[in-house]
Each structure stands twice: as C-alpha cells, then as structure tokens.
C-alpha cells in the first residue's frame, strides 16, 4: 500500500530555533501534499496545501512566513517552522494522495511529528 514517511517523529528544541519537517511519499508520486496541525485531544486542522513546483496554498489564519512549505519534487514536501515559540508546540501531520490514480483515492498520512518548544 501507499506509504508516507514523515521525519523526524519528535523534536524538542529551544525557543527561537527553526525546525524542518520532511514528508515523503515512498512508493508513489504526489503533486499535492497536505500539512495538518493537531492539538491534544482535538481534530486535525489543515494548515496548507503543498503543490509541487509552485507556491503552497495556506488556510486562513496560518502565517505563511512562519510556516514555510517547499515541495521541490513529486515525492518530498518540507514544512519549516521558523523561529519557533512554545505556542508552536503541537503534533504536525502530513498527507499525500497518489497523483497517478483516480480522484477518489484517499489521502495517506505520515506518522506525525511531535514538536515541543521549550
């Protein structure tokens, strides 16, 4: 089955640090990937849609200069949390849909990255 690999699984760092999270589709190509944020015991909130070779589309209220997204290839998207602060601490999850299939195929999710800013 389709596998999405997300790295790292956990990050603990000091306030002011920038953190990069990688999302890779291992056995399929994805022109579109999605980045979500999940607070404890809450649902997933879509942050942005990552588009290969073009700018990401951000949801309302998400700071694009804070959360930099790069989708340089058909199998890799990165999310960089710039100058992270404690309020950025959260669980970040990426997903991807196989571009080579029909439109009704589901999104496949990575295992998430728990970011803790001290």
Name the site residues for other proteins (rule: CB under 8 A).
4, 6, 31-32, 34, 41-44, 46, 49, 51, 91, 93, 95, 97-99, 101, 103-112, 114
User: Minimal distance in Å, beta carbon 83 to other proteins?
Assistant: 26
Whole-angstrom distance, CA of residue 18 vs CA of residue 97: 27
Do 78 and 21 form a contact (C-beta atoms < 8 A)?
yes
Between 6 and 88, CB nearer to other proteins: 6
**Shortest reach from residue 112's CB to other proteins, in Å:** 5
d(C-alpha 45, C-alpha 55), whole Å: 20
CA distance linking residue 74 with residue 65, whole number of Å? 23
Tell me whether residue 24 or residue 108 sits nearer to other proteins (CB atom).
108
2 C-beta neighbours (distance < 10 Å), count:
16
Between 6 and 117, CB nearer to other proteins: 6
Residue 106 C-beta: closest distance to other proteins, Å: 5
Give the nearest distance from C-beta 9 to other proteins in angstroms.
8
* Helix, coil or strand: residue 86: helix
Identify which of residues 46 and 68 has a Cβ nearer to other proteins in the complex.
46
From 12, 13, 4, 14, select the one nearest 36 (Cα to Cα).
Answer: 4
């Amino acid at each position: 089955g389709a596998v999405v690999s997300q790295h790292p699984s956990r990050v603990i760092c000091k306030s002011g640090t920038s953190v990069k999270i990688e999302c890779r589709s291992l056995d399929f190509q994805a022109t579109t990937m999605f980045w979500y944020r999940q607070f404890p015991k809450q649902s997933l909130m879509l942050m942005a849609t990552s588009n290969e070779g073009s700018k990401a589309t951000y949801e309302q209220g998400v700071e694009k200069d804070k959360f930099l997204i790069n989708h340089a290839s058909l199998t890799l998207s990165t999310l960089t949390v710039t100058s992270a602060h404690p309020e950025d601490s959260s669980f970040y999850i990426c997903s991807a849909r196989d571009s080579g299939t029909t439109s009704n195929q589901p999104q496949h999710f990575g295992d998430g990255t728990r970011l803790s800013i001290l």
